[in-house]
Each structure stands twice: as structure tokens, then as C-alpha cells.
Structure 1
């Protein structure tokens, strides 16, 4: 198995293989039995599915690879949320109208209320943590964590990923314990609750519910916001964009994320960035592409462009040259 991101050692999990198969029917049935009922659409014949699963106490942890490119449409989850970590390749998740791209090294929390669709790149590997919603409720009831409500789809902020990886690695190490031992149960419970508390803390500090119509009306013009208020709205906008770099976003989506009207957002972006909101979105995505090419000179330019939301390669190259004065391939060559 590959382990190209998250700096995780999955050896303890690899001792718990559920199945490995190249038959599509077997793969569908086995995964449905272990995770959730779902419709599965294969987009290739290079099937090499492998599933590992281990139960801790309240949590279950999986590593799943299909081999071929797939689209998965699960039924609504019954009493649990999934934490989806891309170990290699790229995944795209759409839940209740929200869409995010989860490239290698990124993590998302999924708890759909109406519908869910997942696309996995051929050969991608995903680590999945199954968390009972009752655990979140329990922590909240005991006052050990604030429960802001679990959103349909939440991208873990980049700054939080290293800390989350440490928690997951601790859970994985639990699987390597030699057997039942006095005191193990309480110790394991501590790590499980710590992981759930951490997720709730990130939701509390990062997730912003969509603004109400009354809130938008109160912010009809940029002039109604002063000083730190303007900077706070722009910060909300940039955080929203950076967690959805490959998702299709509209001007209305950006305004909702900032908690202002479209007109107010246009004024804020021109005042502080000198460009319109959609141009700001494009620039942030271009900056992300450049950073990837500079830090990973071997990255494929086409794949990187798609990963960060550019569907038309000709326009992407033109935008890139306009912003940085060189073509993407020149950046990559200079970084080597």
C-alpha cells in the first residue's frame, strides 16, 4: 500500500484486511456491508479493490482503495459521520449542494442531510474514520466540547491537519497493542474522545453558518462596515475559498461566505484587493498552483490545474502568465 501523505504509519491497520478483489460485484457488496449502502459506478476496468477495517472502541477506521475511477452515491448515514482523509490521489465530495476537492494530504468531515456523491480518482487511497454522532452529543452534554452542529461537509483547515494526524496516529497505535490489559480501556477511550473533541473545536472556530436574509440586508453596502469588521469579512471569504479550491463557486457563494451582499462584497474586494471577487478567487487559486509547483517540481501541471479549479487549460496558462510573468512549466523548471 502507498502512504504518500499525512505522515501516517498504517502498519497496524494493514493487519486487519477485510478483503481484496478484482471483481466489481464482490467489491460493491463488501464495502456496502462494512461502511454504508450505496450505488457504485465504475469508470474503468482496472479493479483492484482492497479494504482494511479495525474497530477501536466507539470509532472504526478503514483504508479503502478501488483501483479504478469510481463514483459513489451512499445512502444517508444512520447515526454517524465520516472523516475522509486522502492518502494518495484525489477525491471530490459533494454533499447537500456543497462541493470540495480533497487532494492528497487533505481531510474532510462528512455528515450529509439530503444527498451525497463521491468521486475517487483511479488508484486513490482513502483513510476513513467512522464517528458516532452520539459521541459528539455526549461530549457536548458533559460540557467537554461546544457542539455547533455537524455541517454536511467541512474541510479541515490546513493549520489543523498536523495536529489531527497526531491524533489519528495515536488511534492507529492502539491497534498494535498486544491485547487486553488492565487500564487499556480507559486510555483508549481518552484518545477517542480527544479526537472527537478536536473535530468539534475546529467546527466551533472555523465553520460559519450561511447568513440570514436579515443579516445580508444589514450589510447592503461596504460603507456599513468599518475597520476590523471589513477585515473580518475578507478573512471569512479567504478561508472559505482556500477550503474549496477546486469547487465550482459563484459570486453569490462568495457573498454568502463573507456574510454580505454581492454589492457589498464587490466594494470590499475592490477596496482592499483592487479586483472583483471572482478575480480574487482566481488569483488565490493561481497562488495555490504556483506554491504547489515551487514545492513539488515533479507535479503534473494538468493535474494541478484541475485540482485547484481550472477546467480550461488554455485560459489557465494565460491567467498564470498574466499574474506571474511566466508559464507554469517555467515555474516548475526554475524550482528544480
Structure 2
């Protein structure tokens, strides 16, 4: 399992809901915060302790959780009910936990590593003494819309995730980046708390990167395409370019409009159109320029440079080369024809 960077920020800035050595008090409060669950101390119950704290912004809740003490021997076992309406991305910062889903999977997760608990899974977590983690909580509907976008389908997809962490070390680093941004916003009291637009953008980005970096196990669709997109994103960009071909667009702009990463958008265009997003934009602009040159040939309303600049070609020599490659002659021939 790939390591993540250390969780940034001071967790004492979270709002503490539990700091207790009482099993029943801890079970009651954390069951209300997450989902109803069984909580057992594996060892001397006098060594049990728990700390739970949380904070966040609209769309995301960041929590900190610790059981026991690294200086004592008692371990902790929790068996929650399925989460139902949300997902948890759990990042271990101290100690070790063993996560298992009955009859399916088991993995041991240590400092700097992560795992995902989806809304539908029954699971249990065995905590070493003093183990601590943070969790990033995302609504199920937000993530399942992101899955649909990534897999190129129109309706939300029932998203299931494997326990084994990110799909690659590179993917783990990508998730660590967005997780760090979430931690900084919450622990550093960033503007996502008070700016709904920033909160929505950060939440949607986190959901998209979760889908792109973790292992999907989703029935009824091709989940092997995790980390790429298909025609849904391509259609969004095609519509935008057709409508606003005269406006400046960068690859980052187009990817943001498609709600995917620039790399994923490039892969989708290569797969479905055998071109790149900017290559498609150039073809649309050449087509519009050709139409304007035909009009100008009839009424003298524009020059070659007028048309080139109108459609975003600031280099006239490059425009002429693209035009000749596409139409077989220079733009001046169309204008004077």
C-alpha cells in the first residue's frame, strides 16, 4: 500500500466531542456521529480511552479519532453498521489498524496509509493501542455522481470501493494533495467555511479525485477504467467549444468545465475522438475561420488577419500552416477565390 504524506495541521483545532475512558459514553457519542456500532476493549478495560473530534465546511467533515494509549496494552475493536449515506476516507497517522469486511477483504493500515469505507460495507476495525487517524467524510450522492461522470454514464452509480488503498503510488500522492487541502481549509480556518462556491468546488474536486485514485468495485459498469473518463466529459467539452470557440481556453479550463483532471480529459479525447482537447478546439476554430473567409470573399468584410485574430490565432504563419493542412491551400486563396 502506498504511503501518503503526513496529515498537515493541528488537530486540537477540531471540536472535541469525546475525551473519555468510559466505554458506554464513547459508544453513544461516536455512534451518533458515525453510525451505530459495537465497541469492545480487548484487554484491561481500565486501559481504555478514546478521543473524537470533528469540524468541516458544507460538503465535507474532517474528524480525528484515537483509541487507547501507545504506553498501555489494551487494544480496541469496533464493528459499525454500514454507513448508509456517506463514505469515509480514513488516514492513519499513528499506530496500526486492521480493517476487515466479513467474508471479503482484510488489510493492515499503518502511518501514512489510507483506506475507504463505502456506504454499503459491513466491516470491523481492530485498533492497536494508541492508534490514531483522521477521516474525510463525503456524502454518498456527491461521490456517486462523480463515479457516473468518470465512467461516462448519465445516472449516479452505486459506488463500492476495495479496501486496498490507492491504485498506484502516483494516485496516492494525488489523493494526499487534495486531503492536505481539506485539512488546511478546516484546521487553518480557510474560506470554504464561509464561501459556498469554494466549499462546493473543493467538495466536488475531492469526490472526483477519490474516484480517480481509489479502487472501484462497481457492478454493472466497467470499473477497470478507474482514473479515466469516457464520453460524458468529452461531450461537455465539445458543447463548450462549439458554443464559445472565440473565447480563450486552456487545457485546465476545459478540464474544469468537464469536471475531470487535464490528464483524464486528454485520455478521453484520444480514446473517443483520436485527438486532444486543444486539437479539437483548433479544428472548430479553423472551420469557423473558413466560413468567415468564404463570407469575406463575397462581401469584403474582413482580411485574413481579421479572421485569424477573431478565432484565436495570434500567429498568422501558424494559422496559415494549419489552414493549408486542413483545406489544401492558404487562407488567402479562399479569401480571393
TM-score norm. by structure 1 comes to 0.54
User: Alpha-carbon deviations, 1:218-240, whole Å to 9, x = none?
Assistant: xxxxxxxxxxxxxxxxxxxxxxx
Higher mean alpha-carbon deviation, 9-18 vs 125-134, is at: 9-18
Task: Tell me the distance in 2 between the aligned counterparts of 1:105 and 1:53.
Answer: 20
| Matching residue within 175, 181, 184 for 1:173 | 184
Task: State the partner residue of 2:281.
Answer: none
The residue aligned with 2:261 is: none
Are 1:145 and 1:197, in contact at CA under 8 Å, matched by a contact in 2?
no
Q: CA 1:174 to 1:40, structure 2 compared with 1: closer, same or farther past 3 Å?
A: same
Coordinate RMSD, CA, aligned = 2.8
Match of 1:69 in 2: 75
Asked whether the 8 Å contact 1:41–1:70 carries over to 2, the reply is yes
Match of 1:329 in 2: none
SS in 2 for 1:62: strand
Match status 1:43 vs 2:55: no
The answer (yes or no) to whether the contact 1:112–1:153 under 8 Å persists in 2 is: no
- Given candidates 187, 211, 220, the residue that maps to 1:200 is 211
Aligned to 1:95: 101
Following TM superposition, by how much is the alpha carbon of 1:185 offset from its aligned partner in structure 2, in angstroms? 1.6
The corresponding residue for 1:25 is: 24
SS at match of 2:173: helix
Contact 2:58 2:193 in 1 (8 A): no
1:239-268 Cα distance to aligned partner (Å, 9 max, x none): xxxxxxxxxxxxxxxxxxxxxxxxxxxxxx
Q: Is the 8 A contact 1:110 1:154 kept in 2?
A: no
Query: Is the CA contact (8 Å cut-off) linking 1:86 and 1:125 kept in structure 2?
Result: yes
Work out the CA distance in 2 between the residues paired with 1:100 and 1:178: 34
Residues 99-114 of structure 1 aligned to structure 2 (within 5 Å): 99-111=106-118, 113=120
Q: Which stretches of structure 1, 4 residues or more, deviate above 4 A after TM superposition?
A: 144-148, 178-182, 206-210
Q: Deviations over 1:300-330 (max 9, x none)?
A: xxxxxxxxxxxxxxxxxxxxxxxxxxxxxxx
Instruction: Kindly state the Cα deviation for residue 55 of structure 1 after the two structures are TM-superposed.
Output: 2.8
| 1:191 to 1:30, Cα distance in 2 relative to 1, 3 A | same
Q: Structure 1 170/145 Cα, relative in aligned 2: closer, same or farther at 3 Å?
A: farther
2:138 and 2:96 map into 1 onto residues whose CA distance is: 22
Q: C-alpha separation between the residues in 2 aligned to 1:180 and 1:76?
A: 29
- Listed as ranges, the matches of 1:66-215 within 5 Å are 66-67=67-68, 68-96=74-102, 97-111=104-118, 113=120, 115-140=122-147, 143=149, 149-151=159-161, 153-156=163-166, 157-175=168-186, 176-177=188-189, 184-203=195-214, 206-207=215-216
Cα displacement string for residues 266-308 of structure 1 (whole angstroms, at most 9, x for unaligned residues): xxxxxxxxxxxxxxxxxxxxxxxxxxxxxxxxxxxxxxxxxxx
Q: How many residues align?
A: 203
Normalising to structure 2: TM-score of the pair? Answer: 0.54
Distance 1:105 1:61 in 2: 16
Extract unaligned runs of 5+ from structure 2: 69-73, 220-337
1:5–1:88 CA contact under 8 A, matched in 2: no
Listed as ranges, the matches of 1:274-289 within 5 Å are none
The 8 Å contact of residues 76 and 116 in structure 1, kept in 2 or not, is answered as: yes
Q: How far 1:150 sits from its partner (Å)?
A: 1.9
Counterpart CA distance in 1 for 2:178 and 2:18 is: 26
User: Alpha-carbon deviation of 1:180?
Assistant: 8.0
Rounded to whole Å, the distance in 2 between the matches of 1:79 and 1:181 is 22
User: Distance in 1 between the 2:109 and 2:17 partners?
Assistant: 25
CA distance in 1, matches of 2:140, 2:97: 24
**Greater Rg, structure 1 or structure 2?**
2
